[in-house]
Structure 1
Amino acid sequence: STSDPPKEPYKSKYEARRILKELLEDLGRVEYDAQRKDLIRAVAKYELGLIATDTEEVSLGQEYLEECLRIIGEDKYKESECRLIVVNALNQLGIVHVRRGDAPKALEYLKKAEAIYVMVNTLPEESARTANLMDHFSPDDAATEVKAEKSGSNPNFELAHAHTLYYLAQVYENLGENAKAAMYCHSTLKKELTLEEFDSIDWSINAATLSQFFIARGDFGAGRHLLACSRHILNEYEKKLDTERLTPEEKEDKEEKLRHKSADVARCWAKYGLFLLIASREQMTDSKTLNGDHNGLGAGNKPHMLIKSPEVSQIEESITDKLVRDFEGARPVFLKSQKWLEDAKQYYTLKDHATDYIEVIQEMSKLYRELTYFEPAPDRKSKMHKRRIDMLEEVLKEVNPRYYLGVCRQVMFELGEVYSELMSLKLAVLPAAIKPQSPAVKKVNSIIDKAIRHFMSFLETVKEADGKYPEKLPEDLARPVLVAHFYIGRLYSNIVAQEPREQFENFEKTKEHYEFVQDYCRKVPEHEPLMKEELEVMAELLKLIPEKLQQMMSTTLY
């Protein structure tokens, strides 16, 4: 079909359909063993079903596939002559219903296919007896000879099961059953390795992607193993590329794809390091652990090892899979993750991949943020935050918000947060009796001013042409906008004023931003739960402001 003319993309498939229909007509006219005729008819209907679904005649394809199964009869699904046809047809019906968005029905078909394989797999000699589709077109004596030569499992039956596993992973994901989806995805990867039927790049990316599920659940051992296997397969592919006979263009294309996917795997490794630091910090602060469970799926459900080799073990040993407890433990995780992000930046440059480049910088900033929690010295904490500021502000200088509004908003907001964290550090070490005119106070106020400016820049991007916010903020922006106002209110209250009048004005601004959040949540009550904790804090602080303002008014001339 790849050689079909562009204007007739299905020419060869339509020709195959014509031949299959002729076969069915001829089959009705010849004297032949009835059971054998039924099997040939079932195979023809299955192939017609494939062609129909491939040519986007999905309903017709479903009819052919269901007819294929009716011809065989459910009582014969597990028989050696029928099981491969049945599993293939059930797989295809699963795909048909996935396309239609009917995941429960797809699951029903795919679980039947899985059950057939499981039954056969319990008896090793049974798999070898599984007939291939083309066996039914061979003369009786030839088919018998083929069966006699078979030993071990039938590779086509194993491949059909690999497809079942792959489709089950997709269906469970559609159903929101992520744990089951992950386990089936893992089983697919394992099966592909066993059969040696996989594209190295695709397999590597699928393994790295799956690692993120286990990492997010706190199963760092499983996540690390998947990432190590991913990197190992890419390493083997790279060696193979050096020995393949390719045209310069083919080699360049494959090397480009390898660089691209290697950068993606490096980013997955960096996220592993980031999540490990986050989980470690959360355990240190006695807060809820990542998703409430750092044992992942539990000891009984952890995935089996994919690749057992010294090369994979060596990759795994480059970073711990245990939670860290102090700066000495966190630093190697940080440095390794930082190196992976630097590797990713070799491919994701600002010039060619601006959005990805910015995301890599944001990931770098998050690594610094997590490292600060393990650093006991305030001055070194401050230096880490300044490093974050430098890299994020550089992004805003280099990128036009008009074209990259989404990521620029994130950077603006994060800069506001970083300056706020820096403010807290600086305020904590200010002496109680320090003079408002001192350089240290001016430094703190300068940091507060920059935090406010970045939050305000973010808020300006959300306003409409008339300079006002939409009556109802978009779902993805509602909390960031309200939190920005909360932050700004807090920042104004922390400015060290030179005189009471200035302090009065700052408290008024704090009140203004807090009341904006309260008023908005009253007008749009469905967004109130987004700010539950902050609303409680603001309510308490707003009770205190009138008293403070009254005290200032009594000592200030207007």
Structure 2
Amino acid sequence: MASGSWAEVREKFQAALALSRVEVHKNPEKEPYKSKYGARVLLEEVRALLGPAPEDQEERPPAEDDVGAGDSARGLPAALVEVEGPGAQGAVRLAVIEFHLGLNHIDTEELSAGEEHLMKCLRLVRRYRLSPDCVSLYIQAQNNLGILWSEREEIETAQAYLDSSEALYLQYMKEIGSPPLDPTEHFLPEEEKLTEQERSKSNALWRPGIVYQLLMSFLVKLERIQPQKTDNIGELDFDKQSELRALRKKELEEEESIRKKAVQFGTGELCDAISAVEEKVGYLRPLDFEEARELFLLGQHYVFEAKEFFQIDGYVTDHIEVVQDHSALFKVLAFFETDMERRCKMHKRRIAMLEPLTVDLNPQYYLLVNRQIQFEIAHAYYDMMDLKVAIADKLRDPDSHIVKKINNLNKSAMKYYQLFLDSLRDPNKVFPEHIGEDVLRPAMLAKFRVARLYGKIITSDPQKELENLATSLEHYRFIVDYCEKHPEAAQEIEVELELSKEMVSLLPTKMERFRTKMALT
């Protein structure tokens, strides 16, 4: 490539980064993705200037459908192939552009296109993935695919990408160990590239998404246990602990069998390296609070590391994801806590870290993130209210302070559920007649919980209680009517729909009895 063209490539690439990372905060409210779209145009121009990769440089995995991009997904070590020659260098630069185009499309909520670009990135550098020039790029692309699939709630697929990243990271650190190049360095002149010390400082950026992996492992393990809940405040069913312990024993035996096979076929050392990291987690599945707490503390350690690097100034989206991960750690730990007051405090910690985010974010640009946070805060308040009600039920005569606390938690939960529901309205503030598939279940859950919250308000005013029951009925009826008009919605909220139908049948009778009682007094 001529020096003039190369200078143009570097200039456009740096401008694209600036638009994505700096100018994004200056976007007008009515054009929240303006700088992202501008960055995309520049990235596509850079890709055109670089030209297509030679056919022999784009390597498809042995089985295209294998997640984790081939060998590393199956636990096979990568071979070290250095990036040498113009063809290899061109392929790596194209891969960097595909990576940034992938992130760009994900940021603008075009997930399928983002996935396509990230997969293209992996194919372009697959053969070089163990080299210092490409290992960071390859791992970051896989991490982002893992996060993408986790947002689709495809946990196994997401975990496969993250496991693949972890295996590659461990192999690289064992066999090479030097700080790798940051992907952006492929567009810097030699004299501007990072020193080895500077690369060491940015190590948190290229390491596998260990926070996400640990949290996902924790959540997957928790999902296996949570169906054992016995009530609406998530108490563990202790009668089934022996059954779970027997299942753990079986899994340990299976793990040992896999370990023996690894030794037999000569992959024992790699297995040991991965096991060393996995042993930090300590348990196949936490069965009580102490085991869960060990896992929580490890996860929180990595959260703090990630927070230190991903400051909100410069890494807005990453910072928010880490905060949400931190909240998720407290949420799942609370499940194992038997003391209801301490569980309340854990949910309170979640709220304290999430609420400031709703103040700082532009709700138009960060619409989806705002919705996620609003819903999560609402549910945290909702759980706290249920816990306070359960505590009050155990008291012979709850005092006015407890009643006030319950009502305040109820009010806060309703506030955030309503903010979430209001975000679905059109510019004329009209609630949609047809709710999009991506928000259908949370919208119906929010309606259901608001209905329940109105029925839980404690008041000594009979007229106010009647009004609350009427509002509760209105929300239950909305769910029933919507599912009658849109039968496909019923399968998304089967349990809530049945309960709503019951309440639509029972509440009018209860309200009529209430009116009769009021007339007699």
**Residue of structure 1 in register with 2:166 after alignment:** 227
The change in CA–CA distance for 1:463 and 1:306 in structure 2 (over 3 A counts) is: farther
Shift in alpha-carbon separation, 1:237–1:260, aligned structure 2, 3 A: farther
Aligned partners of 1:364 and 1:410: how far apart in 2?
A: 14
Q: Residues 383 and 228 from structure 1, CA distance in 2 versus in 1: closer, same or farther, beyond 3 angstroms?
A: farther
Letter of the 1:259 partner, please give it.
A
Could you say what secondary structure the match of 1:421 adopts?
Answer: helix
Tell me the equivalent position of 2:61. 167
Residue 419 of structure 1: how far off its partner (Å) = 0.8
Partner of 1:192 in structure 2?
Answer: 79
Equivalent residue number for residue 282 of structure 2 = 320
Query: When the two structures are superposed, what TM-score results if normalisation uses the length of structure 2?
Result: 0.64
Letter in structure 2 aligned against 1:262:
R
Task: For residue 429 of structure 1, give the secondary structure of its aligned residue in structure 2.
Answer: helix
What does residue 413 of structure 1 align with? 375
> Tell me, what secondary structure is at the counterpart of 1:430?
helix
Distance 1:456 1:350, change over 3 A: same
Q: SS in structure 2 opposite 1:424?
A: helix
> Are 1:271 and 2:216 counterparts?
yes
2:94 is equivalent to residue 201 of structure 1:
no
CA distance in 2, matches of 1:525, 1:224: 39
Q: Does 1:458 align with 2:402?
A: no
Report the Cα distance in structure 2 between the residues aligned to 1:435 and 1:254, rounded to whole angstroms: 63
- For residues 8 and 355 of structure 1, the distance between their equivalents in structure 2, rounded to whole angstroms, comes to 29
Q: How far apart, CA to CA, are the structure 2 residues paired with 1:234 and 1:344? A: 20
Residue identity over aligned pairs, in percent, reads 26
The count of corresponding residues between Structure 1 and Structure 2 is 399
Question: Partner residue of 1:468?
Answer: 430
Match of 1:444 among 402, 406, 413: 406
Q: Is the partner of 1:167 in helix, strand or coil?
A: coil
Deviation at 1:254, TM superposition (A): 4.1
Residue 491 of structure 1 aligns with an amino acid whose one-letter code is L
Native 8 Å contact 2:77 2:171 kept in 1? no
**TM-aligned CA distance change 1:203 to 1:55, over 3 Å:** closer
Residue 423 (str. 1) matches residue 385 (str. 2): yes
Sort the Cα spacing of 1:256 and 1:189 in 2 relative to 1 into closer, same or farther, 3 A: farther
SS of residue matched to 2:336: coil
Deviation string, structure 1 residues 504-533 (Cα, Å, up to 9, x no partner) = 111101101111112222222222221222
1:35 counterpart residue number: none
Question: Is 1:521 aligned with 2:483?
Answer: yes
Specify the alignment match of 2:449 in structure 1.
487
Instruction: Give 1:185 deviation, angstroms.
Output: 4.2
Provide the rounded CA distance (Å) in 1 between the counterparts of 2:430 and 2:343: 38
**Aligned residue in 1 for 2:35:** none
CA apart distance, 1:237: 5.7
How far apart are residue 537 of structure 1 and its match? 0.9
Measure, in 2, the Cα distance between the counterparts of 1:247 and 1:269. 38
Cα deviation for residue 358 of structure 1 reads: 1.1
Question: How far does the alpha carbon of each residue in 1:4-51 deviate from its partner, in whole angstroms, 9 at most, with x for none?
Answer: 946999xxxxxxxxxxxxxxxxxxxxxxxxxxxxxxxxxxxxxxxxxx
Say whether 1:533 aligns with 2:472. no
Deviation of 1:274 (Å): 3.7
In structure 2, the CA distance between the partners of 1:231 and 1:407, relative to structure 1 (3 Å rule), is farther
Secondary structure (helix, strand or coil) at the match of 2:209 reads: helix
Distance in 2 (CA, whole Å) between partners of 1:191 and 1:391 is 40
Structure with the larger RCO, 1 or 2 (CA within 8 Å, 6+ apart) = 2
Give the residue type in structure 1 aligned to 2:459: A
Question: Which of residues 505, 514, 518 in structure 2 aligns to 1:552?
Answer: 514
Task: Please report how far the alpha carbon of residue 354 of structure 1 lies from its aligned counterpart in structure 2 after TM superposition.
Answer: 1.1
SS of 2:382 mapped into structure 1: helix
Q: CA deviation at 1:280?
A: 4.4
- CA separation in 2, counterparts of 1:240 and 1:57? 27
Following the alignment from structure 1 to structure 2, what is the Cα–Cα distance between the partners of residues 268 and 183?
Answer: 19
Over 3 Å counting, the alpha-carbon distance change for 1:56 and 1:220 in structure 2 is closer
Contact 1:319/1:336, CA 8 A, preserved across alignment:
yes
Query: Mean alpha-carbon deviation: is it higher for 458-467 or for 448-457?
Result: 458-467
RMSD value over aligned CA atoms?
4.5
Is the CA contact (8 Å cut-off) linking 1:455 and 1:484 kept in structure 2? Answer: yes
How far off is 1:266 after superposition?
3.6
Measure the CA separation in 1 of the matches of 2:53 and 2:485.
50
Give, in angstroms, the shift of residue 430 of structure 1: 1.2
Could you say which residue in structure 2 is the equivalent of 1:28?
Answer: none
SS where residue 392 of structure 2 aligns?
Answer: coil
Q: Gaps spanning 5+ residues in structure 2: where? A: 10-49, 83-126, 182-189, 229-235
Give CA-to-partner distance per residue, 1:355-392, whole Å, 9 cap, x none.
Answer: 12111111111111111111111111111111111111
What is the one-letter code of the residue matched to 2:412? K
Note if 1:249 corresponds to 2:143. no
For the 8 Å contact 2:385–2:409, the answer to whether it is kept is: yes
- For 2:449 and 2:515, locate their aligned partners in 1 and report how far apart those are by CA, in whole Å: 25
Q: Provide structure 1 residue ranges, at least 5 long, that are not aligned to the other structure.
A: 10-53, 62-87, 96-162
Deviation at 1:167, TM superposition (A): 2.4
Whichever of the two has the greater Rg, that structure is 1
Deviates more, 1:468-477 or 1:219-228: 219-228
Query: Could you tell which deviates more after superposition, 497-506 or 381-390?
Result: 497-506
Structure 1: how far apart are the matches of 2:146 and 2:382? Answer: 33
CA distance in 1 between partners of 2:345 and 2:396 (Å): 23
CA contact under 8 A between 1:488 and 1:510: conserved in structure 2?
A: yes
CA shift, 1:184, in A, is 4.4
